[in-house]
Amino acid sequence: MTMSTRRMLHCSVIAVLLTMVSSTGMAGEDQPLFSDNAPAWLQPAGNSGLVMMGSTEETADQTSEWDFRPLELNLSPPSTADNSCGSEGCPAPLQRFRNGMLQGVTVIGGYLHDDGPESIAMSSMDLSATLAFPLGSFDNLLMVTPFFRADYLDASAVLDLPSELYETGARFFWKKKLNDRFGILGVVTPAVRTDFNNSEDALRIFGLGLLTWQIRPATLMLSGGLVHTGRDDFPILPAAGVLWTPDNNWKIDLQFPSPRISHRLSREGDCAETWGYLSGVFGGNTWSVQTASRGDTQLTLRDYRLMAGLEHVQTENRSLFAEFGLVFGRSIEFDEVELDADLSSTWTIRGGICF
């Protein structure tokens, strides 16, 4: 498949996604999906700033599935107290859900710099949409996020890497409250990861299963389970996390292997909030590719990232963000054999919008 053909396919996928979400949005306006009877985790959760499905914080960035943070979709009832309130009381909490099936469309772009003797600079583009489907009732809801991602590599010829990597698929997210303390959640993401020259073993499945325990409702949550990464380097990992919200200006998510600490910097009444955050990211993925020297093979890129960013969140899942980070511990593997390459630490920048 030629580069021009792949780019035409790239544009076609984007057009199909935009057409689908546009028609879904119109249908949602005719028949509202959510109302005051929506489940607690879709209702405003006090003034805690918890990020809902469809926001940029949890959007499918396939550089790391761990950018998706399901623990922050609160299972507890809405909180009426805000420890940050003054004598004049608290503004009304932000309305995070939308009255329709379509919960948001997100576009994210990124760039990873590299100019060493054995270098891999990368630019990326993500497009996704989040849809909500009640399974019999609003307390049993399925979220579906179809997505398309393209990575463009500017790599040294000695590394023999493809110039383009693609991933397209859908994330299925299901969450259910068992009682006042316990809940379960599952994430399954079947996706095709390929350079469109090799289709062998291109179908990869990310899966996550967690049991959550509200030790202190709306304040402290523990979780544990397993994750199937769909990668060759670390196929199975334990999943464990502590989500602590000491007050409504802080969120401390000590989730393995992608922790995040967020602080609310400002609030504009019941219309918008601005958050700053620090996070660690377990980056990389596995793709089916074709190279000149190896033929059909499996390529795994891996790195670790320390990110700092700002996110501005508005009502009904509308938001935008920008972040900058350091990238280190970079490696390349072909068919689970690590390539001896001198990849230096570098920096990356990302930004996105959800509308």
**Closest of 61, 35, 59, 72 to residue 124, by C-alpha:** 61
- Please give the residue range of the domain that contains residue 45: 3-78+92-354
- 85 occurs within a structural domain: no
Distance between CA atoms of residues 119 and 154, nearest Å: 8
- 242 occurs within a structural domain: yes
Higher pLDDT, 155 or 54: 155
The string of pLDDT tens digits covering residues 258-317 is 899 999 999 998 889 999 999 999 899 999 999 999 999 999 999 999 999 999 999 888
Q: Which two tokens stand for residue 296?
A: 């059909």
Arithmetic mean of pLDDT over the chain? 79
Residue 44 has pLDDT above 80, yes or no: no
Number of domain units in the chain: 1
- 139 occurs within a structural domain: yes
- 51 occurs within a structural domain: yes
- 294 occurs within a structural domain: yes
49 confidence band (pLDDT: 50, 70, 90): very low
- 199 occurs within a structural domain: yes
Distance between CA atoms of residues 196 and 296, nearest Å: 11
Q: Which residue in the block uniquely carries the two structure tokens 């499918």?
A: 60
50 confidence band (pLDDT: 50, 70, 90): very low
Question: Out of 44-58, 67-81, 248-262, 296-310, which region has the weakest mean confidence (pLDDT)?
Answer: 44-58
Question: Out of 148-152, 286-290, 337-341, which region has the weakest mean confidence (pLDDT)?
Answer: 337-341
Contacts for 196-200: CB closer than 8 Å, 24+ residues apart: 196/1, 196/6, 196/9, 196/164, 196/166, 197/1, 197/162, 197/289, 197/290, 198/288, 198/289, 198/290, 198/296, 198/297, 199/288, 200/288, 200/296
Distance between CA atoms of residues 64 and 208, nearest Å: 13
- 87 occurs within a structural domain: no
Distance between CA atoms of residues 228 and 240, nearest Å: 13
Higher pLDDT, 142 or 306: 306
- 297 occurs within a structural domain: yes
